[in-house]
Amino acid sequence: MTKVLEQELKLLIDKSGYERILNSSEIIRGPIIQNNYYFDTYGRCLVKQGMTLRIRQENEKWLLCLKVKNKDSSQLNKFVSSIEIEKEISENSFIECKNQPSRILSLLPYEAEELLGSKINELEYLGFLRNERYSLISISLKEYLFDLDRSFFSIGLESFELEFEGIKTNKQTEDILNFLTDIGLEYKLNKKSKYKRFLDSLNF
């Protein structure tokens, strides 16, 4: 089990911006295919408390993750701060959890179980989101490794996103945004997680 503090700058871009970034940057890894399987209660109790519960499949690896938004982050920050509690599981465990979501309780560390409380017994499987990710470095922004995502939602919906991890100060954020503005890339700040956009897609 691992627990990490994650701070990300997330930017939504359009398809042309996605292709421009992909074609003008050095590919470090990718494409990496990630399938994210989401769980919540019928009343969406977890997301209302700033939590996301998912199992991510990447190649042959299965990772159970509880992501909790950091409520102490300043509203002035443009980056997203959260705590992630992760545990690697087997494919068989994933199948059991998908068929009987309450089984997740037996896999989660005590710390995560405390955060979820009694709602763990009301969990249901919601569906999955497929994400195609490249890890890149820009010739003009060499100090930052970033991820370029293309996410596929229900009924053909998709989105394109830039994620810069390890952002510690607003100065770093401004440097990145100024660079993107200078090269004429259109973007908008995104504090809405992939999971929340996944939930939105269920209503289309």
- Residue 115 above 90 pLDDT? no
Task: Using alpha carbons, select from 77, 114, 107 the residue that is nearest to residue 90.
Answer: 107
Rounded CA gap, 169 and 109, in Å? 31
Rounded CA gap, 136 and 128, in Å? 25
Q: For the chain, what are the domain ranges?
A: 2-202
For residues 183-189, give the mean pLDDT.
Answer: 87
Model confidence pLDDT, tens digit, residues 140-159: 776 778 999 999 987 778 99
- Residue 75 above 70 pLDDT? no
> 17 or 83, which is more confident?
17
pLDDT at 83: 82
DSSP 168: -
pLDDT at 76: 43
pTM above 0.75, yes or no: yes
Model confidence pLDDT, tens digit, residues 22-40: 988 889 998 999 999 999 9
Query: What's the CATH code, domain 2-202?
Result: 2.40.320.10
Rounded CA gap, 69 and 154, in Å? 25
Model confidence pLDDT, tens digit, residues 2-24: 554 556 788 999 999 999 889 88
What is the residue whose two structure tokens read 């599981």? 89
- Residue 107 above 70 pLDDT? yes
